[in-house]
Structure 1
Amino acid sequence: MEAFLISTGLVALAEIGDKTQLLAFILAARFRKPGPIVLGILIATLVNHACAGAVGSWITTQVSAQTLRWVLGVGFIAMAVWTLIPDKIEEEETGGKFRLGVLGTTIVAFFLAEMGDKTQIATVALAARFNDLWMVVAGTTLGMMIANVPAVLVGGKLAHKLPVRLVHGIAAAIFAVLGALTLLGAGASMGL
């Protein structure tokens, strides 16, 4: 349950102001069909984060516990710094031409926008840290939905009212604490 709760909270906070949340705002404004957009976000996130979580779980079988502890600890601290850097959305990530319909465009755009994004990298690290693939994927997916569904439903109105810097600061602090705890040996009972 710890893996689920931490994954949910971290991704929900890290996603505020992230490029995929900006993408949710853009898709909502362009299509004005929240149902297919929300379903597309869910499908893209499940597939993307399941793959990322599988990579994280696989990594735990390939490296020693000591190496993994250092890689994860430094990785979480790097995620803390990265969380403080504002994202920009690339024009090609918004789906370009709409040949795939609302659902297809959302799935493709979200999947591609999430590639190499901080929440995907966080999913890899969390899956390696907790070695509980399905709880991490469920948590990171829920975190993405918590951050992105309101973006789809209320569009640009909410974007200007959230204290994005504060939310990113909180997420960065949590990543930094996880990194420090990992480096100090917390989780040793899990082999880290």
Structure 2
Amino acid sequence: MDALMAALVAAALAQVGDRPAWLAAILADRYRAPGLVIAMAALALLAAGLLAAAASLLIAPRLTPEAKQLFLALALLFQGVGAAFPVKVPDRLDGWRLGAIVTSFAGLFILAFGDGVQFIVLALAARVELFWLAAVGATLGSLVVIVPAAVLGEAGWTALPLKSLRRIIGALFVGAAFWLGLGALRLI
């Protein structure tokens, strides 16, 4: 259960102002079907999260508990540092003629799979026995941000103070990373 809640909170914070939510807003505007885009986002995020969580089965047996904690600290540090950089507008997928379902699923899967949240899912899943709970938590956490983005549409979403929020959230991730890292190294 720890992995579910930790992944939910981390993903919800990490997705604020990030590209998957922005793409969901773009696609919801284009297809005028926010519900469909949200459903495809849920499936895409869950698929990407399950792949990351399943990869933890390969690395978890090789890591000590301290190494697992250090790995999580590194994932949070990368997410926090990444939040300091401006977010590029996601590809609008204008050339994709696959329909609303396939375009939404594939576009959001590709964007989510390369996202820093997947690194956090991998690190959290490596720490627990029920690895798939990290994927479920990250999916739910991401949807906390993606649902409003799809409902608001691109204009409403980009009008929010996302840059300031990302900086604050990035600082929180960096702080948590240092705390976990120092704990893993037994310096605190």
Partner of 2:96: 97
CA distance in 2, matches of 1:111, 1:51: 11
Structure 1 alignment gaps of length 5 or more: none
> How many percent of aligned residue pairs carry the same amino acid?
29
Aligned 1:136-147 pairs, distance under 5 A? 136-147=134-145
Partner of 1:117: 115
Partner SS, residue 126 of structure 2: helix
- TM-superposed deviation, 1:131: 5.2
Partner of 2:5: 5
Amino acid at match of 1:121: F
- Please state if 1:73 is matched with 2:69: no
CA distance in 2, matches of 1:51, 1:111: 11
Does the CA contact (< 8 Å) of 1:95 and 1:105 recur in 2? no
Amino acid at match of 1:128: A
Partner of 1:41: 41
Does the CA contact (< 8 Å) of 1:17 and 1:86 recur in 2? no
Amino acid at match of 2:123: A
Amino acid at match of 1:97: W
Does the CA contact (< 8 Å) of 1:23 and 1:94 recur in 2? no
TM-score by length of 1: 0.83
Partner SS, residue 85 of structure 1: coil
Partner of 1:64: 64
Deviations 1:33-90 (A, max 9, x none): 1222111101111101011112234321123334333333233222210122222144
CA distance in 2, matches of 1:146, 1:118: 17
CA distance in 2, matches of 1:184, 1:4: 24
- TM-superposed deviation, 1:149: 1.0
Partner of 2:182: 184
CA RMSD of aligned residues (A): 2.3
TM-score by length of 2: 0.85
Deviations 1:93-138 (A, max 9, x none): 6263222x21111111111112221222222222234554232112
- TM-superposed deviation, 1:166: 3.1
Does the CA contact (< 8 Å) of 2:52 and 2:122 recur in 1? yes
Structure 2 alignment gaps of length 5 or more: none
